[in-house]
Amino acid sequence: MKILVCISHVPDTTSKINFTENNTKFDSNGVQFVINPYDEFALTRAMWFKEKQGATVTVVNVGNVSTEPTLRKALAIGADDAIRVNAEATDGFAVAKELAEVVKNGNYNLILAGKESIDYNGGMVPGMLATLLDFNFVNACVGLEIEGEIAAISREIDGGKENLSGNLPLIIAGQKGLVEEKDLRIPNMRGIMMARKKPLSVVEPTTSELATSSTSFEKPAAKSACKIVDNVDELVSLLHNEAKVI
């Protein structure tokens, strides 16, 4: 089984986010970048298939050279090789088209990704990729087992889970539950050293056309100051007259 894991290069959730040029450009100065958390669940599941069933695991990213440390971390976790498509990942459809070319050229039969990236939160790439390739697709996946060409899948729905079965080739958009958080891999020193010798290929994009572009960014409104009240009558008055919730 040939597995392709799609990796997004995103700011760490603890990073302080700022914008420049009149809020039209993201300011990456001082920002720590990591593997997209949802993609990390997918990568960990791929490693399970590698260890238990002998699958080969390739990781792919659409991005410039600054994303390569993130791909190297995925290699240190245990992926066999990596591919970087040399294009900015600012448009979901363009990213899906580039990934589709990688899948076609590599003859992968299982594509794993996170359900969304935590920077743009578009949640569109896995579904678009499935449409472009005409592959079976399951979103919000929290369980995946494969025997031969048959996959047993669980996905999260409102109020519960849905159990499905399907044939490879298959695209999975995973989330927390695909593996447990305690099972996520941390690269060890041996993995980091081996990652330096693993192949990381750079391919040029097939198109420069973008369907969408970001015109500006706006931060959430700042939280109002906290008011401490130690008198019940005053609290009731504030809730009634100021907050107007009672």
pLDDT of residue 163: 94
pLDDT of residue 234: 87
Segment 67-88 mean pLDDT? 96
Quick: pLDDT tens for 92-149: 999 999 999 999 999 999 999 999 998 888 899 999 999 999 999 999 999 999 998 8
Token look-up 């100021």 returns 242
pTM score above 0.75: yes
Confidence class of residue 193 from pLDDT cuts 50, 70 and 90? very high
% of the chain at pLDDT higher than 90: 64
**Average pLDDT for the chain:** 92
- Average the pLDDT over each of 16-30, 144-158, 195-209 and give the range with the smallest value: 16-30
pLDDT of 189 > 80? The answer is yes
The conformation of residue 231, written as its DSSP 8-state character, comes to -
User: What's the 3-state SS for 39-106?
Assistant: HHHHHHHHHHHHHHHCCEEEEEEECCHHHHHHHHHHHHHCCCEEEEECCCCCCHHHHHHHHHHHHHHH
CA–CA distances in Å: residue 113 to residues 82, 123, 127, 138: 15, 10, 10, 11
164 in Cβ contact with 179 (< 8 Å): no
Compute the residue count for the chain: 246
CATH topology of domain 2-221: Rossmann fold (3.40.50)
Quick: pLDDT tens for 209-243: 888 888 888 888 888 778 888 888 888 888 888 87
pLDDT of residue 24: 87
pLDDT of residue 138: 94
- 27 membership: H or E segment, kind and range: strand 25-27
Segment 18-26 mean pLDDT? 88
What is the C-alpha to C-alpha distance for residues 133 and 96, in angstroms, rounded to an integer?
10
What is the residue extent of each domain of the chain? 2-221
pLDDT of residue 95: 95
pLDDT of residue 27: 86
Amino acid in position 178 = L
pLDDT of residue 184: 92
